[in-house]
Amino acid sequence: MRLRIDKWKFLEALLVAALSFAVPVAVGAADEIAKLCAVPIIPSPEFERRALIDQTASDIAAGQEQAAFNRIADTYERSLRPDEKATHAAEDFLRQLRAPTSRWSALWEISNDDNGDAVLFERDATARKVTIPCRQKPLAAYFHNMAAIANYLNIALAAREAPAKQAQWNALKKQAMDHENLLRNGLPMWPWELWLNGKRLGKSDADPLFNTQIVFMRPTAGVEVNTRSRELANLEGSLLLEPIGFVRYFDDSRYSKWWGVSAVVTATTGQGMGYGALFRYGRYSAGLTLHHSDVAGVSNDVYLAFSMDLYDLIGQKREELPGLQDGIKKSFSDLLK
């Protein structure tokens, strides 16, 4: 009989242990493991850990915390009803998110006061504390969202501050900043060039971003001048297509200086099709093209070509390199574990 009782106690203990692991998983992300007023934090979908990482990973990784905090503040403000937005708690929370101050993890810790209520910003002497009334049951959803944001920022900033993770942070920060510099300063890429160059990304955030860029089927507007005939040396309007080529960025230039070479096919208003090579230095491009003559006894003509990049001319938005943002988010997520 004694053996039987011990057996049932053992099975009961196993069941309790299994439930203790299963419940947090059933609830969802790491946000729900944390608690607020002795109950699990259950945020709205836009404030779950994955959603917050998607919104902020690149900015925080690049050291642009205020941009990330402003984005979260805008999302949180949009989620509030008018009566919630008018509360002191929401106003002070939004003010702290948007305050242009240095960021440190302990500022976002949630503590408890003597009345048993939860308190935010207790460690910041310059900010008004935000009190979450634990005696109100159930807690309003905007308090859960507030706590989920604070919990996420506490973990994210603590991971950045951890000495053991500094090497990973430095690699991730360099990757994020290089990516931003390439898109902001470098030779803009058409969608198909973005896709092609995106295939060259390393599989780890420790792998440096490439310092050469493939040029592929790139349209360019330009003019051509006949170099053999003074009589025909007037300007010819031209559309150039660079079927293949490359640019090489200078080291430590923040992707703002480059040179490159491309094969080129041209179509002029007067001389028809031609082909040749185009040499690029920064925003300036020049090259030589050969136009075949279809008239017997008339030699082929060599033209000097000058071009202007059509991408900047039509004012297209510079897009993200496919896969790089996802890689930064994944690396950022791994740092928070």
Question: Do 118 and 13 belong to one domain?
Answer: yes
Report the percentage of the chain scoring pLDDT > 90. Answer: 26
Would you say residue 314 has pLDDT above 70? no
Question: Do 90 and 231 belong to one domain?
Answer: no
As for how many domains the chain has, the answer is: 2
Per-residue model confidence (pLDDT) at position 301: 81
User: Would you say residue 123 lies in a domain?
Assistant: yes
Buried b (16+ CB within 10 A) or exposed e, 151-177: bbbbbbbbbbeeeebeebbebbbbbbb
Contact 160, 171 (CB under 8 A): no
Write the DSSP symbol of residue 307.
E
Contact 198, 216 (CB under 8 A): no
User: Would you say residue 319 lies in a domain?
Assistant: no
User: Would you say residue 240 lies in a domain?
Assistant: yes
**Least trusted range by pLDDT, from 86-90, 178-182, 230-234:** 230-234
Give the containing element (helix H, strand E) for 225.
Answer: strand 212-226
Regarding predicted confidence, which is higher, 289 or 29?
289
**Least trusted range by pLDDT, from 35-49, 64-78, 168-182:** 168-182
Regarding predicted confidence, which is higher, 249 or 268?
249
Write the DSSP symbol of residue 230.
S
Which residue segment(s) compose the domain that 309 sits in?
191-313
Contacts of 284 (CB under 8 A, 6+ apart): none
**Least trusted range by pLDDT, from 149-153, 252-256, 294-298:** 294-298
Per-residue model confidence (pLDDT) at position 286: 92
Residue 279 binned pLDDT confidence (cut-offs 50, 70, 90): very high
Q: Is the pTM of this model over 0.85?
A: no
Per-residue model confidence (pLDDT) at position 244: 96
Average pLDDT over residues 60-79: 89
Question: Do 252 and 205 belong to one domain?
Answer: yes
User: If phi over 0 gives left and psi between -120 and 50 gives alpha, with beta otherwise, what is residue 255?
Assistant: left
User: Would you say residue 174 lies in a domain?
Assistant: no
Per-residue model confidence (pLDDT) at position 146: 94
User: Would you say residue 333 lies in a domain?
Assistant: no
User: Would you say residue 37 lies in a domain?
Assistant: yes
User: Would you say residue 175 lies in a domain?
Assistant: no
